[in-house]
Chains A and B, each alone.
Chain A
Amino acid sequence: MNHWIIAPVLLPALIAAVIILAARYQVALQRVFSVASTVGLLGISTGLLIESMSGRIGVYELGNWPAPFGIVLVLDRLSATMITLTSALAVAVVLYAIGSGWDKRGHHFHALFQFQLMGILGAFLTGDAFNLFVFFEVLLIASYGLMIHGGGAVRLRAGVQYVLYNLLGSTLFLFALGTIYAVTGTLNMADLALRVAELPADDTAMIRVAAILLLLVFAVKAALIPLHFWLPATYAEAPAPIAALFAVMTKIGAYAIIRMYTLVFGPDVAVTADIIGPWLMPAAIVTLVIGMVGVLGATHLGRLAAFAAVGSMGTLLIAVALFTPQATTAALYYMIHSTLAGAALFLVVDMVRARRLSEDDAIASRPAIAQNGLIAAYFFATAIAMAGMPPLSGFLGKLLVMDAVRAHDLVWVIWAAILIGSLIAVVGFARAGSMVFWKVETPPEGTAEDAAPHAPAAALPFVATGALVAGIVALTVFAGPVTAFLSDTSAQIFDRQSYIAAVMETPRAIEAENLPLEGTKK
């Protein structure tokens, strides 16, 4: 058993506790711990990614309980890709938070940040549906604290909305899990896959209800229309580094949809085959359109970035909703791209905000900000990426998605939505960029000193944002190898039998007389 598989969950949990207990009042020490932990996570997850490339599915049994009875963590190519993406993003985000001083605006930023990482990485690694719920809650509890970090009336009110929406999502999740358990008697994903496939074809109402409920839960997470209402206010009002980290939170919803609806309620499972895709596809198309229209209609940069995130989730879920290996490859490529680009966009918006008087982010002409040219260049690059224009990876991602939907009935609707959506987004971004960076006000004579923008001169925010942009460029340049790996990944996702075999056939033979009771799950 490879014990490194649990390291991405344990390391941030330990470091967070250490930060609270030992470094409560020393921000410098907190920063050291936090950066060390995040870089360590990147190292571990890169190692796990390299190991997963062999195609072998790693299984970690917690407490050494064999698979259907205990909780398992599963490392396959999909989860390895996701944890590597998360840790890479986290390094950039934590550096930005330190460089911009966001972590000093309230207490416990770094501890909550580590707990958040623990929840996200755990959600990607777990092979048990109830454990997925628990990790969702871990990441949500931490995100509630981070969302209102720094305080302020508007942020608190947006935070309350966010919490209530997600509490509702959690309740739905429990209803879905209860129904699934009542029907199948198990919550281990691999075991579920076996039992759902064996269900009699004439008694499917309960499991279909459960499948749809579960889809609703993940749709809340993925900000799918009409369950997206929490996202714009939350992302626009959250502290920028946190909004950037949240760029991967919506992807957890997409990941969970890919995982559950290929493995458990897969396209070849007769019971639920005809309900998921047909519901998901129209919702995804509408999500894309609403997001892009929101980009055009936004009056503040924060909202613009938030709606760009909604729109990118639409494109991503269009690819997910097809449930074919080719489309899943496209979805995964677009997922990596939109995580990096979305996060970079939030950081750029924050750099503008930090340099303006009274920190407003209205899309309107204001006195020129410090380092206007450099920030404008960053904005230009991330806008190109988010809108899906050549030459950056957004364009390649959209091409892959459009290529994958060729055989679908709604191909013309989807193509039109993607292409017109991109056009609207280009207009929206161009309008915002030219208003904010070009059409600067010249301050009236004599007031120049009062109006002089304050210039946080730290280089670290530029390095962090630059790292994300470099990631987008690297994703574009190495699109070939990345796509090859991702198509191996989606081949593995759709090879359900090997996943089930890896989890259920544990190295230790299960002896019938030593069967442990089922009450070991928490």
Chain B
Amino acid sequence: MEYLLASAIGAMTAAGIYLLLRQRTFPVILGISMLTYAVNLFLFASGRIAINLPPVLLNKTPTYTDPLPQALVLTAIVISFGMTAVVVLMGLGAYLSARTDHVNLNEGQDDSAEAGK
């Protein structure tokens, strides 16, 4: 279980960083999304992995899973979801008004010409 979770986080982080280094806005946004998924799992695992345990301390159960990381992940998910929506909209707006989604401000001016070929 630990191995599965750790390798999943690692693979997503690697993919996210690779996509972040691309030169177009859309892959970069995908990369950021990948990274936020990875970090959500990471936060979730930071309270140690416990299976089939309640997140509250009950009298009957001898132990419980740490509920705080779950609350943190919930906050992180909401924020990253909202942020991704914002950046997709802004990216679309920038693409539609500048006709290019190159991340470099000084490049990609001839994008529409390229697309026309």
Knowing A153-B94, A156-B97, A519-B68, say if A164 contacts B39 (CB, 8 Å). no
Residues of chain B within 8 A of A151, CB atoms compared: 97
Q: Is the interface of A mostly helix, strand, loop or mixed?
A: helix
**Closest residue of A by beta carbon distance from B34:** A171
Residues of chain A within 8 A of B66, CB atoms compared: 518
B57 CB to closest chain A CB, in angstroms?
Answer: 6
B98–A144 contact, CB under 8 A? Answer: no
Please classify how large the interface on chain B is, using the bins under 10, 10 to 19, 20 to 34, 35 or more.
35 or more
A380 CB to closest chain B CB, in angstroms?
Answer: 31
Across the interface, A164 reaches (CB within 8 A) one of B29, B36, B68, B76, namely: B29
Is the C-beta of A279 less than 8 angstroms from some C-beta in chain B?
Answer: no
Knowing A157-B98, A160-B91, A163-B87, say if A182 contacts B46 (CB, 8 Å). yes
A156–B94 contact, CB under 8 A? Answer: yes
Is the C-beta of A106 less than 8 angstroms from some C-beta in chain B?
Answer: no
Residues of chain A within 8 A of B75, CB atoms compared: 130, 134, 522
Across the interface, A130 reaches (CB within 8 A) one of B72, B86, B87, namely: B72
| Interface of chain A residues 187 through 242 with chain B (CB within 8 A) | 233
A156–B98 contact, CB under 8 A? Answer: yes
B68–A521 contact, CB under 8 A? Answer: yes
A60 CB to closest chain B CB, in angstroms?
Answer: 20
B16 CB to closest chain A CB, in angstroms?
Answer: 8
Interface string of B98-110 (1 = CB under 8 A from A): 1000010100000
CA distance A167 to B36 in the complex (A): 9
**Closest residue of A by beta carbon distance from B103:** A161
A157–B46 contact, CB under 8 A? Answer: no
Is the C-beta of A177 less than 8 angstroms from some C-beta in chain B?
Answer: yes
CA distance A168 to B68 in the complex (A): 23
A69 CB to closest chain B CB, in angstroms?
Answer: 10
CA distance A496 to B47 in the complex (A): 28
A181–B98 contact, CB under 8 A? Answer: no
A161–B32 contact, CB under 8 A? Answer: no
A178–B35 contact, CB under 8 A? Answer: no
A175–B42 contact, CB under 8 A? Answer: yes
Is the C-beta of B79 less than 8 angstroms from some C-beta in chain A?
Answer: yes
Knowing A148-B90, A156-B93, A163-B90, say if A517 contacts B67 (CB, 8 Å). yes
Which among A144, A152, A164 has the greatest number of chain B C-beta atoms within 10 A? A164
Is the C-beta of A416 less than 8 angstroms from some C-beta in chain B?
Answer: no
A521–B105 contact, CB under 8 A? Answer: no
Is the C-beta of A179 less than 8 angstroms from some C-beta in chain B?
Answer: yes
Is the C-beta of B14 less than 8 angstroms from some C-beta in chain A?
Answer: no
Is the C-beta of A141 less than 8 angstroms from some C-beta in chain B?
Answer: yes
Is the C-beta of A154 less than 8 angstroms from some C-beta in chain B?
Answer: yes
B36–A144 contact, CB under 8 A? Answer: no
CA distance A152 to B90 in the complex (A): 11
A178–B105 contact, CB under 8 A? Answer: no
B19 CB to closest chain A CB, in angstroms?
Answer: 11
B32–A519 contact, CB under 8 A? Answer: no
Which among B47, B66, B68, B84 has the greatest number of chain A C-beta atoms within 10 A? B68
| Interface of chain A residues 473 through 522 with chain B (CB within 8 A) | 517-519, 521-522
CA distance A154 to B97 in the complex (A): 9
Is the C-beta of A159 less than 8 angstroms from some C-beta in chain B?
Answer: yes
Is the C-beta of B15 less than 8 angstroms from some C-beta in chain A?
Answer: no
Residues of chain A within 8 A of B116, CB atoms compared: none
Across the interface, A159 reaches (CB within 8 A) one of B45, B55, B90, namely: B90
B28 CB to closest chain A CB, in angstroms?
Answer: 6
Knowing A156-B98, A164-B32, A171-B32, say if A181 contacts B79 (CB, 8 Å). no
Is the C-beta of A244 less than 8 angstroms from some C-beta in chain B?
Answer: no
Is the C-beta of A27 less than 8 angstroms from some C-beta in chain B?
Answer: no
Across the interface, B55 reaches (CB within 8 A) one of A153, A519, A522, namely: A519
**Closest residue of A by beta carbon distance from B29:** A164
A174–B87 contact, CB under 8 A? Answer: no
B79–A170 contact, CB under 8 A? Answer: yes
B32–A157 contact, CB under 8 A? Answer: no
Is the C-beta of A137 less than 8 angstroms from some C-beta in chain B?
Answer: yes
Across the interface, A519 reaches (CB within 8 A) one of B36, B39, B67, namely: B67
Knowing A170-B79, A175-B39, say if A154 contacts B72 (CB, 8 Å). no
B9 CB to closest chain A CB, in angstroms?
Answer: 10
Residues of chain B within 8 A of A153, CB atoms compared: 94, 97-98
Knowing A174-B39, A181-B68, say if A233 contacts B105 (CB, 8 Å). yes
A171–B35 contact, CB under 8 A? Answer: yes
Which among B35, B67, B79 has the greatest number of chain A C-beta atoms within 10 A? B79
Residues of chain A within 8 A of B103, CB atoms compared: 160-161, 164
Is the C-beta of A284 less than 8 angstroms from some C-beta in chain B?
Answer: no
The 3 closest A-B pairs by CB, nearest first: A519-B67, A156-B94, A153-B98
What are 15 A-to-B residue pairs whose CB atoms are below 8 Å? A144-B86, A153-B94, A153-B98, A157-B105, A159-B90, A160-B90, A160-B94, A160-B103, A164-B28, A167-B36, A178-B69, A178-B72, A181-B47, A517-B57, A519-B68
Q: A171-B32, A178-B45, A519-B68 are in contact. List 4 more A-B contacts (CB 8 A).
A: A156-B93, A160-B87, A163-B86, A178-B43
Instruction: Please report A residues at the B interface, Cβ cutoff 8 Å.
Output: 130, 134, 137, 141, 144, 148, 151-154, 156-161, 163-164, 167-168, 170-171, 174-175, 177-179, 181-182, 233, 517-519, 521-522
